Amino acid sequence: MDKAKRAQTAETLKQPSLRLTLRAPYLYPDYHWGRYRGIAQDMKLPPLSELLLRNVFFDTCVYHQPGIDLLAKVIPIDNILFASEMVGAVRGIDPETNHYYHDTRRYIDHVAAVSDEDRRKIFEGNARKVYGRLDAYLEGRSHSRESSSRPEPALQ
């Protein structure tokens, strides 16, 4: 990488308010984490844990248990956001498991090394942290429901 490109990349990575959610199955961060660490080191950048993990997040659209297990092993739990395509790229049923491929919740539920608190972070807590306006909206709805005796209308 030439010097100008290296400087541009370094400046882009230093944007503290920029938050990125990366599609895990397309980037394979878990498989290439060592490579990314080496590139950062070669560029004289801080370690990835300092450089990226404050504002880069990975989703769980990984359609098999070993992939989710590896993601949870390599990427910190605080950087994993629940995702499911719900009739997305793969619409069929996996003949090995007899479940829909896109049913990613069950994969997270079966990661042995993840605690119940970590699952709560993946399913909800991390998204609320990353998307502050979503958290504020949901908190507002929660408070309005508590003060109102009327049931909330169903989403269409």
**Which residue in 97, 105, 95 sits closest to 61, CA to CA?**
105
Distance CA 116, CA 122 (A): 10
* Set 11, 50, 85, 146: catalytic member: 85
What are the structure tokens assigned to 140, written together?
A: 């507002």
Give CB contacts under 8 A, 24+ apart, made by 126-130. 126/57, 126/77, 126/78, 126/79, 126/80, 126/81, 126/82, 127/81, 127/82, 129/78, 130/19, 130/21, 130/57, 130/81
Distance CA 58, CA 53 (A): 10
Distance CA 24, CA 68 (A): 10
Distance CA 114, CA 72 (A): 8
**Which amino acid would we find at residue 46?**
P
Tell me if residue 146 is catalytic. no
Query: Mind telling me the catalytic residues?
Result: 85
